[in-house]
Copies of this chain bind each other. A is one copy, B any other.
């Protein structure tokens, strides 16, 4: 196959007003705002509003939005019962994919709905779904899925850890949710747009996004990065280990990118946050290990870390279990998916490409007795 065609790399599949990725090789903007400004000065709920409604909220809009999200955190009883029956060893991405699909039945999209409200409902309820399921199977406790926390980051940490969250952890998680929120026509977003392009419902499109993000070549990369980093006890050991992996042609997750060619601007933001957390963490040596892996990957492969690599240790230092890394990506990316579904709907055309046929030429249908 023509390598230019493979995976639609570089093929323009449509228009968007939401995001630029990799302008001059490194930029990332959401609705025209630089990701560095958003990460420094904004909060996840502002970014969610920006993506879904198209502009930054003023103070009153933001406050109203936060209160609205807080009111949307309750899980329907039928879904709770199902969560109690799912085994603990289930992939949490399967839990979210299923929960989204179930909500599509219990609270179906109707003509009277604003699709934006479904997006808000999912952002608000997903932390509770994940952590209700998790705690029920860990301890038998049916947790309350409300908290006093106004932010998604604080709410998640409270439900996970059961206490008022560490403010630094809450801040780092908030920034990471901003960084993960949107990324143009990535695979999960494009899958969601295809689903939307048949005029299917909002939940179906988000369900496609979750199932697509689940793969290790996409959202699963942050978990794979953590798994790699935590194999080692020292930087030297990590260097030896990763060299061996490279010699064996194994893929090292968390490096390089389809679109970015020089660096991932999100990595430059999350890296110092991970470093700062490492100073107080009991296994803070993992940061030095990740630095050594970064240096080696650049030296050997000229690959730079993408967002997933230092997000892994940042989450780890916040005492978030590794299997929640990709689900956190979902909780954030719902905002980007939603913006794209709304955009697709506003000027919809069915997304239906063509294929090069490389199969058998026309052949005669054989009788059963003529078959090998």
List the interface of chain A (C-beta within 8 A of B): 1-2, 5-20, 29, 31-34, 37-38, 41-42, 55-59, 62, 78, 81-82, 85-87, 90-91, 94-95, 97-98, 101-102, 104-105, 108, 184-188, 190-191, 194-201, 203-205, 207-208, 210-220, 258-259, 347, 349-366, 368-369, 371-372
Of A212, A351, A355, chain B has the most CB atoms within 10 Å of the CB of: A355
Contact of A211 among B9, B17, B207, B218 (CB under 8 A): B207
Which single residue of chain B is at the shortest CB-CB distance from A214? B200
A215/B200 contact (C-beta < 8 A), A34-B365, A354-B12 known: yes
Question: Oligomeric state, in number of copies?
Answer: 2
Q: Which residues of B contact A190 (CB under 8 A)?
A: 194, 351-353
Q: Are A34 and B91 closer than 8 Å at their CB atoms? A: no
Of A33, A196, A215, chain B has the most CB atoms within 10 Å of the CB of: A215
Q: Are A354 and B32 closer than 8 Å at their CB atoms? A: no
Q: Which residues of B contact A215 (CB under 8 A)?
A: 195-200, 204
Which single residue of chain B is at the shortest CB-CB distance from A191? B194
A350/B214 contact (C-beta < 8 A), A31-B359, A191-B191 known: no
A212/B198 contact (C-beta < 8 A), A78-B85, A85-B78, A258-B350 known: yes
5 more CB-based (< 8 A) A-B contacts, given A8-B13, A198-B214, A200-B211: A12-B354, A13-B353, A15-B356, A31-B360, A191-B194
Contact of A212 among B98, B208, B347 (CB under 8 A): B208
Complex CA distance for A5 and B15, rounded to whole angstroms: 9
Q: Are A204 and B212 closer than 8 Å at their CB atoms? A: yes
Complex CA distance for A345 and B75, rounded to whole angstroms: 36
List 3 tightest A-B contacts by C-beta distance, closest first.
Answer: A198-B215, A204-B211, A17-B359
